[in-house]
Each structure stands twice: as C-alpha cells, then as structure tokens.
Structure 1
Amino acid sequence: MGHLLDGRWVTEAIDTKASGGKFERAAAQFRNWITPDGAPGPSGAGGFAAASGRYHLYVSYACPWAHRTLIFRSLKGLSDHIAVSAVHPDMLDEGWSFDDDFAGATGDALFNSGHAHDLYTRADPAYSGRATVPILWDKEQATIVSNESAEIIRMFNSAFDRITGNDLDFWPEALREEIEVVNTRIYDTLNNGVYRAGFASTQDAYEDAVYPLFDTLDWLEDRLSRNRFLIGDTLTEADWRLFTTLIRFDPVYHLHFKCNRRRIVDYPNLWAYTRALYQVPGIAETVKLDHIVRHYHYSHESINPNRIVPINPILDYDAPHGRGTSQIT
C-alpha cells in the first residue's frame, strides 16, 4: 500500500508508530455532491446535476465502503444509469490495480488506467493522499465527484429519483436523528473497529478496539431481538452500512483481524438478520466472497506475510431467516 504525494506515488506500509500502535483512517478529500439540478450539496462545489450516463463508479468488490455504493446503485435502480468498473482484489505496492485477470475485475472502462491512483492524478495532478475506492467520476467535468462512500449512498438515495422513478427512501427525514446515532456507534466500534483491531501494532491498541467491537455486537444482537431492522420495522441506510461489515466478518475479520471472541453465526439474531439482508432482491449480486477473501489475506502482507488464503467456512446465506418478508420486492 502507499499514497500520492504531490501527484507522485509513494510506496509505504501503514505506519501506526505515531499513534501508539492505533490504526487511524484518513478522511476522504473529494466531497462534492450530485443533486437533482446541480445545485451545491452540503459540501464541495456545485455543477454536478443528476443525469443518466454522466457518472461512472469505480469500486472494489472486496471493500466494504465501496460495497455500500454498489448496494444503493442496485436498490435505487441506477444500474442502467451509472456504469461500474471493478478493480482487482489484490492491493499491492501501487494500491488498487485495474488488472483484469481475476473473475469480476473489469479493468478501467473509461481510461484503461493501470491503477486507481491514476484517476486521482487525472482529477488533480498535484493530489496528495490515499487512492481509495469508491470513486465517483464525472465524465462531463473530467473529475472525481466524491470518494466518500457515506455521502455517495445519500446521493444515490435521492438525487436520481426523477430519472429512475424509484422513490425508495433509506434516509427518511423523520428517522434521521436515530439513524445518525446508530450509524455513529456502528462506524466507530464495528465498521472501522475491525480495522483498528486488525491493524493494531500493540496489545493495548488491539484491546482498545476489540472489546468495544464485541460490546457493539452484543448490543446489536439484543436490539435485533426486539426490532426487525435497526430502526424498528423500517429498512434504512443504517442496516446497509452494517451489512457490509457483517457479510465480511466470519470469512475475514474473525480470523484475519483477530476479532475472534465470537462469529456472526454465533449470534442467532445477527446471523438471521444478515441472511435476511443478503436475500433482498439485487443484494446477493453485489457480494463477491472470492474477492473479499482473496483481497484481505493476499494484500495485507504485514498481517499475513506468506499470503496464504484460507479455505474458509461454508456459510449458507440463502438459508431461511425467519425475519419476515422484506419490504423491498
């Protein structure tokens, strides 16, 4: 792994010395918004109006943050309006690669780039920072709209509704305050908590991450014993932000990131809930476990220096879940 410094690629491993062994995630830097009429959004510049075929989404099927955007693209009927390019699951010295010799890896459909970092310097030749996915690219302005998944899914949730006629709302105004509270805990202790545990380089840093992580899983198990979804009977963005971590937990995080007190299959409500979300129409197609398992074990040389990819448990995500019929049909 590495980063761009003034437009030049610099190879380096994750350095946790300055933070006392703790993994710290860098903030996304492209924070523009697509809006129905191109008006400015909550951050960044205006001029990004919703239009069919104008935008291109770059993802990794392995990455939980990119996975969020694929889910919303599917749920909101955007597949015919926003095309996708998917990177190779191996993230090595030059970061995400557009090699296409792994099933599902597509190459860069727009520019035939070699790596994701080429898109960042195409947008800003002097860019400094990580070259992460997802990348939402604007073909009209030839730049990156956003590389912040939490904001991309909110754009997808509503900006294109007049084009698609799809009015499903996963961020309803009446529930936003509760959604934000739930999102914050899940992000801090679970979505990002698995990485804080996995990339910790001291025992204290690991334990500071892993104990709150399992406290949150216990909290979620209890919450889901009383609620169909995280916010009562309404399926919201909070559920999908959680799902991308849950679907990776037993195949990857339990072993690879040492989050091994319990598995998701050991939590009856969480395991049934994971299957229920997986079985929502259009979701299974966004889950590529071969990319997920390969990426983490092969790419993280500091954790798995021999790059041995485990055979993994056999999990039946299509088994009946008993949590009622999904509200999405």
Structure 2
Amino acid sequence: MTQGTYVEDEFQRDTTYIEDRVTTDGAGEHEWPAEPGRYRLVVARACPWANRAIIVRRLLGLEDAISMGLCGPTHDSDSWTFDLDPDGLDPVLGIPRLKDAYEKRFPGYPRGITVPALVDIASGRVVTNDFAPMTLDFSTQWREHHRAGAPDLYPEPLREEMDVVMRRVYTEVNNGVYRCGFAGTQAAYEDAYERLFTALDWLEERLADRRYLMGETITEADVRLFTTLARFDAVYHGHFKCNRSKLTEMPVLWAYARDLFQTPGFGDTTDVVQIKSHYYEVHRDINPTGVVPAGPDLTGWGTPHGREALGGRPFGDGTPPGPPAPAERVPTAHNPLVGADGLVRR
C-alpha cells in the first residue's frame, strides 16, 4: 500500500511509521525485547520494502526465531489481507486483515496499513512497521539468534559509508521509481526521471570494479538495491514510465542483479507473478484496465554473469543459507528458475 502526498505535483512518500523497535533487551522506551517465537513478520512478496525483510530474515537464518505471515499480492484501500491462507485467515494470528493488528493497538489507526509489519503474537498488536531500521535490527539486535555462518550485513567499519550509500539508493532509486510513476505533472515526472537515471548511472560506475556495493561481501545495501532491480523490467520500466533503459540494457547493473538473483536468499524469495499482480491490478489510477502483462521472459536471470572475476566472497566468513522451508518456497510457476528445493537453478 503506497502512502504519499503531492507537493507541487511531486509524489512524496509518507514516512511516518510506528517507530517502536525490537532490541536485544527491550529496555528503552518504545522498545520490545528480541524473544524468539514472540513476533510474526507479516509481509507480501509483491512489496519491495517487505521483500527486503524476507531476504534479510533468510540470510541471517531467523526463520525459527521470527515466524512469517504472507499476505496476497493485492489489497483494497483498507488493508493487506491474508487471502492466500485457508479461509482467508492468518494461521497464527487468526485475523483476515493486517489492519486488525494495527487497530488492536491503535484503534482508528489513521495511516496506511503497510508491510512489512512485526506483530506481537500473544496480544495480536502491531509492534512496528518501520521497515528501514527493522532489517538493521535483525542484523544487530537479533545476533544471538542468527544461524551459524550468518553473514554480517551491517559491518561496523563500513556503517558510516553504508548509511550514505543506502540513503542515496533509497531517495533516488527505491523511491525514485515511485516518484516517476506517481508524478502529477510532466515537469515533475521529467525531474524524477532525470534523478533516477543519474543515480543508476552512478551505480553502474560504482559497481564496475567492485562486486558488491560496499566491496567484497554482500551487505544490507545490496539487499535494498536488489528489490528495486528485481522489479525494474517487469514493472517500473513500463508501468512507472522509467523507460530510458531496461535493466537488461544496463550491462553492469544487469550482471550485478543476476549475481544476486543466483545467490541463495535473493532470487528464491522473488515472486514475479505476485509482483506484477500487485502493481498492475492495484494501481488503477495508472493502469485503469487492471490488465497484467504476460512478460518479460525471466530465463535471462539464470544466465552467467561473470561477476566472479571481480573476486569477493558473497557471505564473507559465513556460509549461504540452506533451502527455504517448504511452506515459504516461491512456486516454480511464479518463478521458473526456482527448483523443487526452493533454490534458484543456474
């Protein structure tokens, strides 16, 4: 669900979220303790902000500590819903709409019902929907519950530079595609378009001689960029008019995106059928007919990328995650590169 307003016909995302955090001991004001089994991460595979939480949870091996509820790809103006589950009810929370968890804590909640959201299972109340710190907290506050071999996605020596890079990726790319798609005038669109492709050109240059955004290993910065790149040709190029170049026509970014897609945790969490369903069916102001395009062909995501020549170790001193749990696997029909074990075939 896209929250935003217009200022001089430019789309501006509403970034007012529930700022509670889950921390190691939960000792601070508006903090909750990191207790395994206490929270349910509610997501939708279609949403790029939720997709990053799915990826980080999987890379760190937090599946046993934080359960995951999956909403369907479409929603109405009221709420994301659990229409993929039997009887339309989340099997753990027992609710049909994510809004119910928001209302349980904040009756008459006045803002949009967004994913990802962490919900306290016992009380049924939403804890936070503040997606940016949520995944950083998965790395730093849940460390005791990471799997053996989990990568360090937010390494301390890189944090100052990482924060700068991630801020530019967010403002110019992650949110930049939305500024193009929801621009209210030609001038606002053209400004957003120019900013987006200036940033993509910067990323082409940055990644030309380094395998990942911060160097030799995958970090949260790569997770945040990947979720936009994974949707670029299927949605943003046409639906959001980000059409100077397709991802497949940007050689460095295309190779980088394929490298990540073929890495456990990335492509195996990507459901292109749900992604297209969400954008083309929900955004009727942009696509009044609700017709969902049949393409693009996804087989190119499995082709060799050649990024190994730059060196690097994807997981640093750690190891890749194992196959996803059967209940959390993307259907092969939704991603033809995903095998029966839930992993991407090369």
Aligned to 2:52: 68
Is structure 2 residue 230 aligned with structure 1 residue 247? Answer: yes
- The one-letter amino acid of 1:49's match is P
Between the aligned partners of 2:23 and 2:88, the Cα distance in structure 1 is: 28
CA apart distance, 1:141: 5.1
Q: Determine if contact 1:96/1:117 at 8 Å carries over to the other structure.
A: yes
The match for 1:145 among 127, 135, 138 is 127
Between the aligned partners of 1:2 and 1:252, the Cα distance in structure 2 is: 15
Between the aligned partners of 1:101 and 1:129, the Cα distance in structure 2 is: 25
Is structure 2 residue 104 aligned with structure 1 residue 116? Answer: no
Question: SS where residue 131 of structure 1 aligns?
Answer: coil
The match for 1:276 among 235, 259, 281 is 259
Aligned to 1:202: 185
CA apart distance, 1:196: 0.7
Question: SS where residue 91 of structure 1 aligns?
Answer: coil
Q: Deviations over 1:151-189 (max 9, x none)?
A: 110111122222335452111111111111111111111
Question: SS where residue 12 of structure 2 aligns?
Answer: coil
Between the aligned partners of 2:143 and 2:205, the Cα distance in structure 1 is: 35
Aligned to 1:45: 30
Between the aligned partners of 2:241 and 2:135, the Cα distance in structure 1 is: 29
Q: Deviations over 1:110-148 (max 9, x none)?
A: 333232222211121132111111111122454322101
Is structure 2 residue 277 aligned with structure 1 residue 294? Answer: yes
The match for 1:162 among 124, 131, 144 is 144
Is structure 2 residue 217 aligned with structure 1 residue 234? Answer: yes
Q: Determine if contact 1:85/1:107 at 8 Å carries over to the other structure.
A: no
Q: Determine if contact 1:54/1:82 at 8 Å carries over to the other structure.
A: yes
Q: Deviations over 1:12-46 (max 9, x none)?
A: xx763xx2221111124211222222222xxx513
CA apart distance, 1:106: 7.4
Distance 1:2 1:223, change over 3 A: closer
Question: SS where residue 41 of structure 2 aligns?
Answer: strand
Q: Determine if contact 1:90/1:96 at 8 Å carries over to the other structure.
A: yes
Between the aligned partners of 1:39 and 1:165, the Cα distance in structure 2 is: 24
Q: Determine if contact 2:62/2:147 at 8 Å carries over to the other structure.
A: no
Identify unmatched segments of 5+ residues in structure 2: 321-346
- The one-letter amino acid of 1:136's match is L
- The one-letter amino acid of 1:34's match is V
Between the aligned partners of 2:70 and 2:88, the Cα distance in structure 1 is: 5
Between the aligned partners of 2:233 and 2:279, the Cα distance in structure 1 is: 13
Q: Determine if contact 1:276/1:326 at 8 Å carries over to the other structure.
A: no
Distance 1:15 1:169, change over 3 A: closer
Q: Deviations over 1:264-294 (max 9, x none)?
A: 1111110111011111123222111110011
- The one-letter amino acid of 1:114's match is P
Identify unmatched segments of 5+ residues in structure 1: 4-13
Aligned-CA RMSD value:
2.1
Between the aligned partners of 1:74 and 1:188, the Cα distance in structure 2 is: 25
Between the aligned partners of 2:207 and 2:146, the Cα distance in structure 1 is: 32
Between the aligned partners of 1:117 and 1:50, the Cα distance in structure 2 is: 23
Q: Deviations over 1:238-273 (max 9, x none)?
A: 111000000000100000000000011111110111
Distance 1:106 1:240, change over 3 A: farther
Matches within 5 A, 1:309-320: 309-315=292-298, 316-320=300-304
Between the aligned partners of 1:266 and 1:106, the Cα distance in structure 2 is: 41
Between the aligned partners of 1:101 and 1:109, the Cα distance in structure 2 is: 7
Between the aligned partners of 1:35 and 1:97, the Cα distance in structure 2 is: 28
Is structure 2 residue 171 aligned with structure 1 residue 188? Answer: yes
Q: Determine if contact 1:65/1:134 at 8 Å carries over to the other structure.
A: yes
CA apart distance, 1:235: 1.7
TM-score, normalised via structure 2 length? 0.84
Question: SS where residue 21 of structure 2 aligns?
Answer: coil
- Aligned pairs, number: 311
- The one-letter amino acid of 2:271's match is K
CA apart distance, 1:82: 1.2
Between the aligned partners of 1:250 and 1:224, the Cα distance in structure 2 is: 19
Distance 1:15 1:77, change over 3 A: closer
CA apart distance, 1:308: 0.6
